[in-house]
C-alpha cells in the first residue's frame, strides 16, 4: 500500500491543469463514459487521498463540465488558453475547494470546413501528480476513445527517499542551512513592471484594455497561462547551437529566461548579490526501472551565481549552468538535501528557499508519445498550468515556466501567472524574447 509522504500532503494545496484538443467530434456520452473509466483506473482522480480503491464505487457523480467558448476564430492556442483558464477559475469556487476530486471540462466548436473540434481541460490536485504524470493521464484518457487501454503504474517518491535514507536527519539540518542558505539578497524580477524604455505598441495597449487586465480593483485574480510554440525546425537550430557550444538545452533555457527577464522588466539588481536558480530534475531515471510511471515528483537544486553573472553573454551563462547541471547525476547528491529540508518537514516556512527564477525543462522527454496513431494524426496541441487550490490576492506575483517536448518534436513553453495582476501581454513579450534568445544564440 502506497502512503502519502508529508511532502505529498503539502502538495494537496496545489493543483496542475492542462488543456488539449483533437480534431474529432466526440459525443457527450462518450466523453463522460471515458472520464468515469479513467477515474476507475486512477482512483485518486476521484479522491486525491485514495491511492487504491477496492470498493464498488462507480464514480458517476463526478461528471465532465461542458463549456461554451467565447472566442470564435481560427487560432487554436486561443481555444486552449480559454478552456484552461475556465477550469482554473472553476476550481477555485467555494464548492470545488471543499472537494477532493479532479475535474474535466470540454467544449466542442466548428472551426474549419464543417469540422467539429473537441477541446479538453483536466485539473487535478498536485498531491500525486506531477507534470509527467499528468501527460500519462491524458494519454490514458484519449486512448480510451480508440478503445485502447493503457494504465501507468504508480510509485511513491517519498517512500523511495525513506528507503534510500536520503531525507536529511535532524542533526544534519543546521549544517546544511549554514552551507546553502548563505546569501544576503537574491535577484528578484518584478513581472508587473516593464522597464521604462520598454513601450507597448498601440495594438498591445488595445489588447490589454480589451482583456480587462488594467482594472485589477474589480477582478479577483486567478492563475492562467500563456504558451509559445517552438517548431521542430526551430528546435533543430537550438540543438545545433548547443552542440557547437557544448551547452545543455536546459542551461540555455535558463540563461535565455534570465536575460529576457532583465531586458524587459524592473528588478532589484543594484541591491542583489546573487542570482539563485531553481533547477528542476525529473528523478524517474534515478529511482525506478519503469520511467513511465505516476506518483514521482521532480526535485530541485539551487545554484548561486554572482550578481555579476547578469552582465555575461547568454552563451557564457549557459556554459556555467551546464557545468553545474552535469555534476548533479544521482539522488544521493547533497544538492538535493537542501530541497528536501524544505519539502519534507512540517515547519516548512523555517526552511523556505528563495530563488530568482524557477524553470522546468522536460525537453528530453517527449510527452504523449504513446497516444494512438489516429489521435496523433488529429491532435491539436497541449498547454500546461501549475495552479493553486486556494484563492489568491492582488499582491500575488508568483510565476512558473515549463518547457516540454511533444511527440512531433516541436516544443512548447508554458508560463503561468496571476490574471489581473500581471498583464498577459507582458508574458507574451517575455516568451517571445526567450524563444528569440534561444534561436538567435550566435547572431
| Distance (Å, whole) CA 142 – CA 253 | 30
Q: Is 176 exposed, middle or buried (0-12, 13-18, 19+ CB in 10 A)?
A: middle
pLDDT at 348 over 70: no
* Statement to judge: residues 139 and 184 lie in one domain: no
Q: Is the pLDDT of residue 323 over 80?
A: yes
For the cut 70, the answer to whether the pLDDT of residue 307 exceeds it is: yes
Instruction: Give the N- to C-terminal CA distance of the chain in Å, as an integer.
Output: 55
SS3 of residue 287 by DSSP = helix
End position of a domain, from candidates 159, 194, 213: 159
Of 45 and 66, the structure prediction assigns the larger pLDDT to 66
Q: What is the CATH number of the domain that holds 256?
A: 3.30.559.30
Q: Is residue 374 part of a domain?
A: no
Q: What confidence tier does 37 reach under pLDDT thresholds 50, 70, 90?
A: very high
Q: Residue 16 in contact with residue 134, Cβ under 8 Å?
A: yes
Q: Are residues 93 and 204 in the same domain?
A: no
Closest CA to 198 of 267, 122, 130: 267
Give me the number of domains the chain comprises.
2
Residue 213 pLDDT more than 60?
no
C-alpha 13/C-alpha 131 separation (Å) is: 16
Span 95-109, average pLDDT: 88
Coil, strand, or helix at residue 257? Answer: helix
Q: Looking at residue 235, what is its pLDDT?
A: 95
| Residue predicted with more confidence, 209 or 116 | 116
**281 and 353: one domain?**
yes
Write out pLDDT tens, residues 72-89: 888 999 999 999 999 999
Instruction: Name the band, by pLDDT with cuts 50, 70 and 90, for residue 280.
Output: confident
Q: What does the pLDDT average to over 303-317?
A: 93
Compute the chain's Rg from CA coordinates: 22
Q: What is the pLDDT of residue 289?
A: 61
**Are 178 and 276 found together in one domain?**
yes
Which domain, by its residues, includes 119? Answer: 6-159
Same domain, residue pair 196 and 148 = no
Which residue, 128, 159, 190, sits at the end of a domain? 159
pLDDT at 349 over 70: no
Last residue within a domain, chosen from 103, 129, 159: 159
The answer on 191 and 107 residing in a single domain is: no
Q: Do 53 and 198 fall into the same domain?
A: no
* Whether residue 49 has pLDDT greater than 80: no
Residue 93 pLDDT grade (very low, low, confident, very high; cuts 50, 70, 90)? confident
Distance, in Å, from the CA atom of 137 to the CA atom of 251, rounded to the nearest integer, reads 29
Percent of the chain with pLDDT over 70: 89
Q: How confident is the model at residue 1 (pLDDT cuts 50, 70, 90)?
A: very low
377 in a structural domain: no
Question: What confidence score (pLDDT) does residue 155 get?
Answer: 80
* pLDDT mean over 157-169: 80
Contact 146, 374 (CB under 8 A): yes
Residues 66, 117, single domain; the answer is: yes
Looking at the fold, whether 220 and 75 belong to one and the same domain comes out as: no
> 103-135, pLDDT tens digit by residue?
999 999 998 777 899 999 999 988 778 888 999
pLDDT of residue 2: 54
Cα four-point dihedral sign 291, 9, 403, 97: positive
Confidence (pTM): 0.92
Whether residue 242 has pLDDT greater than 90: yes
Q: Are 294 and 136 in contact (CB under 8 A)?
A: yes
Amino acid at each position: 500500500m502506497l502512503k502519502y509522504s508529508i511532502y505529498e500532503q503539502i502538495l494537496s494545496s496545489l493543483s496542475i491543469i492542462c488543456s488539449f484538443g483533437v480534431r474529432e467530434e466526440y459525443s457527450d456520452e462518450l466523453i463522460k463514459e471515458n472520464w468515469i473509466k479513467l477515474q476507475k483506473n486512477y482512483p485518486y482522480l476521484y479522491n486525491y487521498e485514495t491511492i487504491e480503491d477496492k470498493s464498488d464505487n462507480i464514480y458517476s457523480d463526478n461528471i465532465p463540465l461542458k463549456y461554451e467558448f467565447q472566442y470564435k476564430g481560427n487560432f487554436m492556442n486561443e481555444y486552449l488558453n480559454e478552456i484552461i483558464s475556465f477550469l482554473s477559475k472553476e476550481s477555485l469556487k467555494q464548492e470545488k475547494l471543499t472537494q477532493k476530486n479532479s475535474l474535466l471540462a470540454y467544449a466542442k466548436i466548428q472551426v474549419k470546413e464543417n469540422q467539429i473540434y473537441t477541446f479538453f481541460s483536466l485539473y487535478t490536485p498536485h498531491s500525486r501528480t506531477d507534470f509527467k504524470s499528468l501527460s500519462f493521464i491524458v494519454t490514458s484518457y484519449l486512448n480510451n476513445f480508440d478503445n485502447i487501454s493503457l494504465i501507468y503504474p504508480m510509485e511513491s517518491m517519498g517512500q523511495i527517499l525513506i528507503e534510500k535514507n536520503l531525507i536529511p536527519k535532524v542533526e544534519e539540518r543546521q549544517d546544511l542551512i549554514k552551507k546553502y542558505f548563505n546569501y544576503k539578497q537574491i535577484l528578484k524580477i518584478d513581472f508587473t513592471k516593464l522597464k521604462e524604455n520598454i513601450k507597448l505598441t498601440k495594438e498591445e495597449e488595445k489588447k490589454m484594455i480589451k482583456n480587462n487586465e488594467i482594472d485589477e480593483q474589480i477582478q479577483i485574480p486567478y492563475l492562467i497561462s500563456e504558451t509559445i510554440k517552438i517548431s521542430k525546425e526551430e528546435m533543430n537550430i537550438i540543438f545545433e547551437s548547443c552542440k557547437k557550444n557544448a551547452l545543455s538545452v536546459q542551461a540555455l533555457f535558463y540563461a535565455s529566461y534570465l536575460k529576457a527577464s532583465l531586458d524587459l522588466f524592473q528588478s532589484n539588481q543594484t541591491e542583489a548579490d546573487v542570482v539563485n536558480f531553481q533547477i528542476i530534475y525529473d528523478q524517474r531515471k534515478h529511482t525506478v526501472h519503469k520511467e513511465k510511471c505516476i506518483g514521482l515528483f521532480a526535485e530541485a537544486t539551487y545554484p548561486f551565481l554572482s550578481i555579476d553573472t547578469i552582465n555575461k553573454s547568454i552563451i557564457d551563462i549557459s556554459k556555467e549552468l551546464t557545468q553545474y547541471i552535469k555534476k548533479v547525476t544521482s539522488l544521493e547528491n547533497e544538492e538535493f538535501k537542501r530541497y528536501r529540508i524544505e519539502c519534507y518537514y512540517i515547519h516548512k516556512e523555517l526552511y523556505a528557499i528563495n530563488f530568482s527564477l524557477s524553470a522546468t525543462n522536460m525537453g528530453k522527454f517527449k510527452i504523449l508519445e504513446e497516444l494512438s496513431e489516429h489521435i496523433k494524426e488529429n491532435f491539436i496541441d497541449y498547454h500546461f498550468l501549475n495552479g493553486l487550490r486556494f484563492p489568491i490576492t492582488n499582491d500575488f506575483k508568483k510565476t512558473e515556466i515549463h518547457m516540454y517536448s511533444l511527440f512531433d518534436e516541436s516544443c512548447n513553453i508554458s508560463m503561468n501567472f496571476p490574471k489581473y495582476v500581471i498583464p498577459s501581454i507582458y508574458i507574451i513579450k517575455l516568451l517571445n524574447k526567450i524563444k528569440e534568445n534561444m534561436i538567435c544564440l550566435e547572431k
